[in-house]
Structure 1
Amino acid sequence: MVTRSNPRSTVAVSITDRRPRTEPIFEIQFRMCMPAYHALMPAIRIVHRSPLDPAEAWRRLTDWERHGAQVPLTRTIIDTAPPTHVGTVFTARTGVGRITFDDPMEVVVWRPPSAASGGGSAGLVRLVKRGRVVRGWAEIEVRPRAAGGTEVHWREELRLRGLGRPFDPLVAAAGRFLFGRALARLLRP
């Protein structure tokens, strides 16, 4: 029997003939241990430090309409009544003229930072992208810093329909550039 293994798949091959035997001489077993769906998407990780307090950073980062103003050729349409909560749905529409695509998102985790315990606690919002063109998720975490101010962790994994895995590095680099620039502008003092 020949077995070949790597972190993502295991292949076992043995050989059999037509004579009755207790063990197969030829048999192919293929078991693919696929990583989770999110592991197949380009990962975008951004850490940004700001002098703003966590509550103000949170307010700016969860003002969804301001996000659209920071991304070129994009506007944000809020589909549910304010304030933001689990279940809030909004769409980032990007394009020029009649050539557009929508990136609908839903808030699935909503934990604003609290001012309790002196410096405050971390806040976390998780969005799931439910579009036909853009799929994946995004998390924005706001953490108070001991020296004052805020540290923001932006994590995002996305898949653009029609682009295969060979484009993942390009998608990740473009995402880091666009989202990093938007994050810096949203948190500008």
Structure 2
Amino acid sequence: MANFLLERTVALPLDEAWRRLTRWPRHAEAVPLTRIRVTTAEPTHQGTRFVARSGIGPLSFDDPMEVTEWHPPRDGAPGRCRLEKRGRVMTGWAELEVHPAPEDRTRVLWREEIHVRSVPAGLDGLVRRTSYVVFGRAVDRLLRTA
């Protein structure tokens, strides 16, 4: 399994950073070769499910996820969301957190554990580095654009 942690501090209010990170269809705009389909009713809540379809043609796979914790920021308090990956190709989890930071900024934490089936443990380092780059760019883009 590959684990990684992304940290960002952005000049956004807490609620806006949270909104940008947790609008699931927007992730398709930030992750290459990916489409997102939310399969439960809005708004997002514990139990919300969605599927990320990644790849091209026959090299595509579904990455179904479920929100297992949903604690939006309230009254300046931090927000936290946990997703469980439940696919045939990828399993694991992701945790997104937003914390107040000085000067009306927000500190974002994105932790993830990814297991890609049929990929030997000896390649976890490659999966970790690749995921760090791909998700780092995605987080940056999500936070940069409304």
CA distance in 1, matches of 2:120, 2:57: 27
Matched, 1:157 2:113: yes
**Runs (4+) off by over 6 Å:** none
Residue of structure 2 in register with 1:89 after alignment: 49
Q: Per-residue CA shift, 1:20-46, capped at 9, x if unaligned?
A: xxxxxxxxxxxxxxxxxxxxx211100
Greater fraction of residues in helix? 2
Measured in 2, the distance between the counterparts of 1:52 and 1:146 equals: 11
Equivalent position to 1:121, from 77, 87, 107: 77
Pairing of 1:164-179 with structure 2 (within 5 A): 164-179=120-135
Code of the residue aligned with 1:177 in structure 2: it is V
Aligned-CA RMSD value: 0.9
1:148 maps onto 2:125 in alignment: no
Q: Match of 1:136, as an amino acid?
A: G
Provide Cα deviations, 1:2-30, integer angstroms capped at 9, x if missing partner. xxxxxxxxxxxxxxxxxxxxxxxxxxxxx
The one-letter amino acid paired with 1:187 is L
TM-score by length of 2: 0.97
Q: 1:42 aligns to what? A: 2
Alpha-carbon shift at residue 164 of structure 1 (Å)? 1.3
Give the TM-score taking structure 1 as reference length. Answer: 0.75
The whole-number CA distance in structure 1 between the counterparts of 2:60 and 2:113 is 21
Unaligned runs of 5+ in 2: none
Amino-acid identity (%): 50
Structure 1: 5+ residue runs without aligned partners? 1-40
Query: Partner amino acid for 1:98?
Result: P
Aligned equivalents of 2:57 and 2:125: distance in 1? 29
Query: Which of these two proteins has the greater Rg computed from alpha carbons?
Result: 1
Query: How does 1:1-189 map onto structure 2 within 5 Å?
Result: 41-114=1-74, 116=75, 120-188=76-144
Deviations 1:113-157 (A, max 9, x none): 01x2xxx01000000000000000000000010222100000000
Q: Deviation of residue 185 (structure 1)?
A: 0.5
Q: Which amino acid aligns with 2:113?
A: E
